[in-house]
Structure 1
Amino acid sequence: MSSFEQAQPASRPAHVTAESTQRDVRSSEPRRAIGGGPTWSISTKELIGLCQRVGQSLKAGVEIRRVWQQESTRGNATHRQHIDSIFRHVAAGGTVADAMRACGGFFPRLTCQMVEIGEKTGQLDEVLLKLAKYYEQQEAMKRSFYLGIAWPMLQLGAATIIIAAVIWISGMIGSFMGTGQGVDILGLGLTGGWGAILFLLSVATVVGGVVLAINALLRGWFGGGPLRMAMRLPVLGTCLESFALSRLTWSFALGLESGMDARRVVELALSATQNAHYEQHTAEIVSGISHGQTFHDSFAQSNAFPSDFLFALETAEIAGATSESLLRLAKQYEEKAHEAMRYVTMACTAATFALVALIIIMAIGRLAMFVFQPYRDAMDMINNGV
């Protein structure tokens, strides 16, 4: 029997289906933070350590309540407060996944969903250790990207500070000359200390706006349209697609291995992509599975997934080894994402270098015009016979 057939929802009484649906809806609803106020999210470093310690302790046979009681003594006050709430919830007979959701967004949605799978299948220790490895890989790629653009960003910052210093000095020149007005050396219309501050604020606003726009694009705040356009770009699109499909195939495989309802597995996998371009097709794909379609046909009808993913999914279903094939595919997409991230880093580095060079060239050009302007004026006067 294939993984698809094993994961297909069996017919159940109406009242059982209704209760299960209500329970799933309640588990997916956002919870308020402890105390009713806002909460900060757990850092990736803390989350990796937490998953590793809890996973290893459970694997060693330590009783789950004791594990969470020990964890409640670690970290800062906020961390201890949330972990203590998990311990009290588990001690009262509740699930870890529900306790995490009750923390009001302190834990990532993917973590809560994967923990739910682990608890339902009795493989919580393995799921937590896999989550730790997954977040370690994500953190490694972030570090690689930041290290790649660190030097050109430092150059950009240095160039910005130098230009601000020139603007400030231009105001002092006017004071020394006794004119009472600054000399606009760079032609930006800014002089003196306030001009330097205004320039720095303008640069910070532009940089902050770019970072915010990228974050909004990735989170789907602008809808699926801009993200679809970004995914069509040669390098960036490959990177975004590979990251999303790597998360999808990995969580998809774990869900199938757990024996969960096929529709729930697909919802989990699409949510794990953290990509609005794919998440917007969740209802359509789930509907196809509910009507007895295969995973391949359900995903293909959305016209949102690449042919290599669909071909691998179809082949895996025919062979009856969907979860194993998806895990291999997840590894391939992960490697492809690493390679794409390397090219994105190189592109960002080149763009930053080009921007710094342009700023320096323009500044030197304006300074040269300022220095040679008196000579040009003198030559004009001589030529005009003055």
Structure 2
Amino acid sequence: MGRLTITVCIIVCMAVAAGCGGGSSSTTAASTAKPVFSNSTTFTLFSTATMSLLGGNVQKGPFASKHQNFSTVTSPAFRNVTGAAFNGPIAVTTDGTGNWYVVNFTSHNIVRIAADGEIRNHAGSGYSGFANSSSARPLTAAFSNPTAIASDGTDLYVADTGNHIIRRIEASGRTSVLAGIAGTIGSDDTNTSLSVVASFNQPSGVSVAGGFVFVTDTLNHTIRMINKADGTVTTLAGYPGASGSADGDRTMARFNLPARITSDGRNLYVTDFGNRTVRRISLATGKVDTIAGVAGQAGTTNGPRGTSLFNHPNGIASDGVNLYVTDSYVGSVRRIELTSGTFVTSTIFSGLDTPIGVTTDGSGLFISDRNANSIVRIK
């Protein structure tokens, strides 16, 4: 019973950002383009809370009521052909060809927004459970509270948090298990000589870099690495079951409920949810350091490393120049400059309901606002 209670609380805190007293993102491979932000920042709201919001003027709703300018913003001419909807959207990614994929935490499925504006259910039955699927029947797959998604340009990778596994959705629509054992909690790395199969404990963030999928193994307080070719799993940083905030060598570093993860090709960046910090892991050396936030201190202060504060950093994305972090409990999106060396943090937008997932296509940010059942674009 104790384990079950903790499990439910962590999912609610990190995914719903409400109910436990506090707040993957996911991202595609890093883009070198820098989104433009200015005083004339524009916002486009894609929401299926009311399907009419996808065409014509945006009406007042859970999110738009906070931002009067949304009443005059028009959204692209999307068309819903299957009854697909956003139901607790918690993560968003793009495959780089104009298709967008949204993870629905509440309805346990993946929705696709195609380049031509067509919205349809992409994978998952809409019911909690575990099942793989063939390419001919992608909607027979079952997920349990998925929380993050990433693309390598061909396949999608999903943190199936409630099932404690990482799933792969092929371009054909076939869904399979890349790593982990459905329904089994653990922290084992792959050991073929001993026939040991890797296991996770509520993985909640995924990022793809090169031939690997990097995972935040949240309740193990570790960062894991999966070889895409054979599914072998290695613990990259942290120690299973040992929470903390220590920097240093990857074997000595400690995390506290790492939430989401992204990469700029040289480093991994992790939102350390429980520590209220953003961490960096060098892919070359394995060294871990804290680049934003102060462990154990909550706040919204902007500034350089050592002075900036977060409430509960959650989603994270990189454009190769900056990091973008959702501070879910205070409804804001923060930017961390990577090029200055001082990692200055600033707030680029606030007033969202429950921003969690964030990604970029090089022209703007796309944010999943979970409780508003919306995807918000900041350009």
Q: TM-score, normalization: structure 2?
A: 0.23
Q: Which has the higher strand share?
A: 2
Q: Which has the higher contact order (CA 8 A, sep 6+)?
A: 1
Q: TM-score, normalization: structure 1?
A: 0.23
Q: Compare CA radii of gyration and give the structure with the larger one.
A: 1
Q: Which has the higher helix share?
A: 1
